[in-house]
Amino acid sequence: MKEIKADFKIRQAEVEDVSDILVLIKELAEYEHLLDEVVATEELLEETLFGVNSPAEVQLAYAGNEILGFALYFRTFSTFLGRSGIYLEDLFVRESARGRGVGEALLRQLAQRTLEIGGGRLEWAVLNWNEPAIGFYQKMGAAPLDEWTTYRVTGNNLKELAEG
């Protein structure tokens, strides 16, 4: 395994990190031109990320007291593989920390975590216009799945679907 010589560390987020996580989520949303869609609060993140049966986890990259970036992920399951995996919901590195290997280290950490749980795949989505991210992911050995289209149901449509 390639070892990254870095001036930063990666660790599992703790409940005390909730305010930093929310700031990073908002910075990511601003970068993706989706800031108006962020409705998460510190209280909600504390409950969902650190409460009983939390569905997701967060890895933080940091140097000293400065948070450089994060990866938020959750477990999935592949019926074809018959094994679990990890879905990377968000990977974000602050602009000031880009080019230092932070994103690569976070992605490698998740690959290791996937193997630790006996997982068969690590997957994620990227916005079509985000060329820097696409280039980074391809450099890391990821390949796009052109034959798949992601669908989403939210808000009133979700409520209507649930109510029949």
Which uninterrupted H or E stretch holds 70?
strand 66-78
Q: Which domain holds residue 154?
A: 9-163
CATH of the domain at 135: 3.40.630.30
pLDDT in tens, 91-134: 999 999 999 999 999 999 999 999 999 999 999 999 999 999 99
Is the pLDDT assigned to residue 157 strictly greater than 80? Answer: yes
4 occurs within a structural domain: no
- Does residue 3 sit within a domain? no
Residue 69 domain-assigned (yes or no): yes
57: in domain: yes
- Residues noted as catalytic: 137
Assign 6 a pLDDT band (cuts: 50, 70, 90). confident
Let me know if residue 2 belongs to a domain.
no
Tell me the per-residue pLDDT of 57-87, one tens digit each, with 9 for 90 and over. 999 999 999 999 999 999 999 999 999 999 9
Contact 20, 85 (CB under 8 A): no
Q: How many folded domains does the chain comprise?
A: 1
**Maximum Cα interatomic distance, the chain, rounded to a whole number of Å:** 54
- The pLDDT value recorded for residue 17 is 98
4 — pLDDT class (breaks 50, 70, 90): low
In a domain, residue 27? The reply is yes
pTM for this entry: 0.90
